[in-house]
């Protein structure tokens, strides 16, 4: 006996098959439905087509990251910090290198006996009647700040060794009943007057007096002595 299928029956069967294909889980097994609000695993409930799309997107993102295009990440920066912050990397800021500074070397008075300073003869001779009492005199004619003082004598006796001292301006001592400036100062040299008269000689300023604003200098060989002072700045008599 042959069965006859009506068009209505055929259409119903096709409609049921289509509905079954749409609601069938992609994994082919039973699907667990979450009892809580929201979807705990949205990928598990997608169709095979959606899974392929998601997997393709994740692969593309991973390739972009390995090619040097990382996903931007925002990091906080501390106000006033001395480093730049971006993508998780702190780059410290280092100070600019300073240029090498040249330090001027100053002459230093070495340990041991004071030096014998040879004067330069200028002119004249000793006159016992000069200045009324045959006294001797000196004046400062040049100063190199913190380094040296140059003096010029007047009416110095011949062949006499003078001791030359320096001290802070105003310091004095008493000898032979006379107040003599720099009498207790630092010995900076011994000078033989040679021919006498007008001489010039340069003496190194001691280390302890280099920053002194004003200095007394003394040339003494009793009964002769003479002292003068000058500001400790670059200066030269015209």
Mean pLDDT, the chain cut into blocks of 10 residues (238 residues total): 54 61 50 47 55 60 52 44 44 52 51 86 95 94 98 97 98 96 97 97 97 98 97 96
Burial 182-221 (b: 16+ CB within 10 A, else e): bbebbbbbebebebbbbbebbbbbbeebbebeebbbbbbb
Q: Would you state the CATH architecture of domain 120-236?
A: Sandwich (2.60)
Q: Could you tell me which of 36, 42, 67 has the C-alpha nearest to residue 54?
A: 42
Sorted by where each begins, the domain ranges of the chain are 120-236
> What is the model's pTM?
0.55
Q: What integer pLDDT is reported at residue 153 of this predicted model?
A: 98
Q: What integer pLDDT is reported at residue 130 of this predicted model?
A: 94
């Amino acid at each position: 006996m042959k069965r006859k299928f009506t068009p209505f029956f055929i259409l119903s069967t096709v409609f049921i098959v289509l509905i079954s294909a749409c609601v069938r889980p992609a994994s082919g097994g039973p699907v667990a439905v979450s009892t809580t609000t929201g979807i705990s695993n949205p990928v598990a409930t997608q169709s095979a087509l959606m899974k392929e799309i998601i997997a393709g997107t994740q692969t593309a993102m991973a390739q972009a990251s390995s090619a040097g295009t990382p996903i931007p990440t925002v990091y906080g920066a501390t106000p006033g910090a001395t480093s730049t912050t971006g993508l998780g990397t702190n780059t410290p800021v280092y100070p600019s290198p300073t240029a090498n500074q040249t330090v001027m070397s100053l002459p230093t008075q070495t340990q041991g006996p004071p030096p014998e300073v040879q004067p330069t003869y200028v002119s004249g001779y000793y006159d016992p009647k000069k200045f009324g009492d045959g006294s001797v005199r000196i004046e400062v004619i040049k100063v190199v700040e913190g380094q040296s003082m140059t003096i010029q004598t007047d009416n110095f006796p011949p062949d006499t060794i003078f001791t030359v001292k320096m001290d802070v301006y105003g310091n004095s001592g008493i000898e032979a009943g006379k107040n003599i400036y720099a009498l207790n100062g630092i010995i900076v040299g011994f000078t033989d007057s040679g021919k006498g008269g007008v001489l010039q000689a340069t003496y190194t300023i001691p280390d302890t007096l280099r920053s002194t604003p004003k200095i007394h200098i003394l040339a003494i060989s009793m009964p002769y002595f003479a002292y003068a002072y000058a500001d400790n700045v670059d200066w030269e008599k015209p």
